[in-house]
Amino acid sequence: MKINAGFDEAFVKSDASFFERFFAPEYIFSNNFGVLFSRAENFKFLRNFSTDPPYKILAQKSDNVKVRVFANAALLTSDWTGRALAIGDPNAKPQTDAGCDIGFYENRGGKWLVVAEHLSEKNHDTKLMAQKVLQASPSYNQLMKRPKSTRSYADSEKSGDLAALGLLLADEYSYTSRDGKIFTKAEGLESYKINQIKIESAEILEQNVRVISNYTAVEMGKIRYLGTNAGKPFNISKRYTTTWIWRYFRWQIAADQTSAVKPQS
């Protein structure tokens, strides 16, 4: 139980050395996706986390800890609660997760070592996660409203627009235009630099969010844009479908698709 409590503390402090002291050479870890990780893979993650954390651990606690000892073996079960915060997002709010942990220990030469461990996570509150999508979506529209025709790329970099957009788009992001062309994240950011479109207003007319799982949500809606393209005014409405993924304790856009809505006669 002391070792398990030490793991909680070491995780908050990003102390990979503590884990290394108590993981057996053949240690394996499995998650609720059915993926196995070796001892080396775990330490690679923990060391990277200590030097370049993708998110900040605010708290980690085990409750209802139970241990059953069988000679030189022991089985530990516990509930866990963790609280973390996304890094780089000024609007980020702490997220609390919870789940269960099972650890198999073996006493070797008077020292307890963890041989195998399994961690599972409880389902998120879908209403809360949908609200987080609704909070993230306007940030995207605000970035699209950047007055590109009056500000240089250097200005946008200085203000953090490009960096903010880069955080909002997942690495595997793709955009499908109304004519069927597909653009990658790199192409989308490049277009953001040089595009002469100036969006003055982005009004969401319809919006619906459906949370699929702890890590996926789909947003569908209708939006109206007012602005100019190379100095020529436009007024256009579009249907959109946005796929969001929950990564590093923030929602990111993995895929986006839009289609123009024909004006009513």
Per-position pLDDT tens, the chain of length 265: 999 999 999 999 999 999 999 999 999 999 988 999 999 999 999 999 989 998 999 999 999 999 999 999 999 999 999 999 999 887 788 999 999 999 999 999 999 999 999 999 999 999 999 999 998 888 887 777 654 433 433 344 434 678 888 889 999 999 998 888 999 999 988 877 776 677 888 888 999 999 999 999 999 999 998 888 878 898 989 999 999 999 999 999 999 999 988 876 5
Residues whose CB is less than 8 angstroms from the CB of residue 261 and which lie 6 or more positions away in sequence, other chains included: 222, 236, 237, 238, 239
> CATH number for the 2-121 domain, one of 3.10.450.50, 3.40.109.10, 1.10.1200.120, 3.40.50.620?
3.10.450.50
If you classify domain 126-261 with CATH, what class do you get?
alpha beta
Do 241 and 219 contact (CB within 8 A), yes or no?
yes
- DSSP string covering 39-66, please? HHHHHHHHHHHHHS-SEEEEEEEEEEEE
> What pTM was computed for the model?
0.84
Domain ranges across the chain: 2-121, 126-261
Confirm whether 2-121 and 126-261 share one CATH topology: yes
CA pair distance 11, 42, nearest whole angstrom: 12
